A = this chain, B = another copy of it.
Amino acid sequence: MKKLINDVENVVIDSLRGLELAHGDLVTVDYENRIVLRKGGPRAGKVGLLSGGGSGHEPMHGGFVGLGMLDAACPGEVFTSPVPDQMMAATKAIDGGAGVLHIVKNYTGDVMNFEMAAEMAAAESGVQVESVVVDDDVAVQDSLYTAGRRGVGLTVLIEKIVGAAAEEGRDLDTLVALAKRVNGQGRSMGMALTSCTVPAAGKPTFDLADDEMEVGIGIHGEPGRERRKVAPAKEVAEMLVEPILNDFDFGGGPVIAMVNGMGGTPLLELFIMYAEVHKILDKHGITIARNLVGNYITSLEMAGSSVTLLRADDDLLKLWDAPVLTPGLRWGA
C-alpha cells in the first residue's frame, strides 16, 4: 500500500487538520467531537444542515461545509459511518433554533447511527431533528426486503440545493419536502477501473485483471454488480446513463448532470466521459442545464467514474445557482 499518510490510525484526523489549516476562513474542526463546522457558529433562525458518513469520499462531506451548503459534517473512519456521538454534538452545535436536518446516505450503518443520534438529540437537547435518506444508485435493485439503494452522487446535489434553500430561510418541513423531492427525481450509477485500498486493511478491496472493470459500484470500494471487459468511454457512458434513463423518466430535461471521478481518474478522462454523456442525453432529447465535472464524491484513489442526473426545474436551478462558498464547491461568492 502506497499512500501519502503518516499512519493508518490517524488518517482521518491528520486530513481534517489539513482541511482546517487550508480553509480556516470557511470551516473549523472540533477534534474532540470530530466534526467539521461552518465558521461562525449557528445562524439564528436558519435550519442547520448536517451530513456525514465514512471518510474517503473527499471533498464530501467536510469539503461541502460553508455558506450555501452544510453547517456541519461528521466524518467517520475511512468507509465507516460516523458514530451517534459525533452527530449529536454536531446537531447541538448548529441548531439556530429552527431545527436541524440530517442528510443521510442510505447505508445500513449510516442510517442506524443517524437514527440513534436523532433519538438521543431529541431526548437530550430538545433540538427538532428531521432526516432525509438519499438513495439514488440505480445499480442496486430496490426492494422492501433489502437494504435498498445506496446513496451516492445525488448527495452532493442535494446538499447544494437544500443548502441554498436553508440559506434563504426556508423552514425545516419545507427543506425535508425539498430534499425528498430532489431525491425522488435524481439517479446515479458508477463504475471502477481499479479498486482502492482502505488504509487499515492495507490491500486492495478487490482485484481486477488488466482488462476488467466493475460496473455498478458504490463509493466504498465494494465490488460492483457486474464485472465486465473494459470498454471505450462511449460504451462506459452508455452503461451508466442507460440504466438511469430506464429507471426514471426525465421527460426531455432540463437536468443537472454530474460526471464524477472516483478519485484516481484524471480530469482529462472525466471530460471525455462528459462529452459522451452529453451525446447520449442529446439523443434522448434531454438538455443539460447545469453540470459538474470533477472529483466530488470519491472512493479514495479508485479509478472510475459515476454519472448523476437530476431532473431540474426553475426553483431547483435557482437554488443551484445560488452562491456557495465551501472548500470543495464555490461560486457566486
Contacts and interface: CB of A to CB of B under 8 A. Distances in A.
Contacts of A295: 266-267, 295
A274 interface: yes
Contacts of A145: none
A18 B266 contact: no
Interface in A1-59: 1-7, 11, 14-19, 21-22, 55-56, 58-59
Report which residue of A7, A63, A263, A266 has the largest number of chain B beta carbons within 10 angstroms of its beta carbon: A266
A194 B2 contact: yes
Nearest to A269: B4
Contact of A267 (B58, B236, B276, B305): B58
Interface size class of A (residues with CB under 8 A): 35 or more
Contacts of A274: 18, 21-22
Nearest to A75: B268
Interface stretch (A157-165, A296-304, A308-316): A296-304
Interface stretch (A103-111, A176-184, A226-234): A226-234
A275 interface: yes
Nearest to A262: B266
Interface in A293-333: 293, 295, 298, 300-301, 303-305, 330-331
* Copies of the protein in its oligomer: 2
**Interface residues of A, dominant DSSP:** mixed
Contacts of A63: 267
Interface of A: 1-7, 11, 14-19, 21-22, 55-56, 58-59, 63, 78, 193-194, 210-211, 213, 230, 232-234, 236, 263-276, 278, 288, 291, 293, 295, 298, 300-301, 303-305, 330-331
21 contacts: A2-B194, A4-B236, A4-B304, A6-B272, A6-B276, A11-B268, A14-B233, A15-B271, A18-B270, A18-B271, A18-B273, A18-B293, A21-B275, A21-B278, A22-B291, A55-B268, A56-B268, A58-B267, A263-B266, A265-B301, A330-B330
Given A4-B273, A7-B232, A59-B267, 14 more contacts: A4-B304, A5-B269, A6-B234, A14-B233, A14-B275, A15-B269, A15-B275, A17-B275, A18-B270, A18-B273, A18-B278, A19-B271, A55-B268, A330-B331
